[in-house]
Chain A
Amino acid sequence: EAGVAQSPRYKIIEKRQSVAFWCNPISGHATLYWYQQILGQGPKLLIQFQNNGVVDDSQLPKDRFSAERLKGVDSTLKIQPAKLEDSAVYLCASSRGLGNSYEQYFGPGTRLTVT
Chain B
Amino acid sequence: QQPVQSPQAVILREGEDAVINCSSSKALYSVHWYRQKHGEAPVFLMILLKGGEQKGHEKISASFNEKKQQSSLYLTASQLSYSGTYFCGTAYNTDKLIFGTGTRLQVFP
Contact = CB atoms under 8 A, between A and B. Distances in A.
Contact of B49 (A41, A42, A45, A101): A101
Contact of B96 (A4, A56, A101, A107): A56
Contacts of B40: 108
A106 B97 CA distance: 14
B41 A107 contact: yes
B102 interface: yes
Nearest to B28: A100
Interface stretch (B13-21, B60-68, B87-95): B87-95
Contacts, number: 61
A96 B94 CA distance: 14
Interface string B63-77: 000000000000000
Interface residues on B, range: 20 to 34
Contacts of A104: 32, 34, 44, 97
B94 A99 contact: yes
Interface string B47-65: 1010001011000000000
Given A99-B94, A101-B30, 14 more contacts: A40-B101, A40-B102, A42-B2, A42-B100, A43-B87, A100-B32, A100-B95, A100-B97, A101-B47, A101-B53, A102-B47, A106-B42, A107-B41, A108-B40
9 contacts: A48-B96, A99-B94, A100-B47, A101-B30, A103-B56, A104-B97, A105-B44, A108-B40, A109-B41
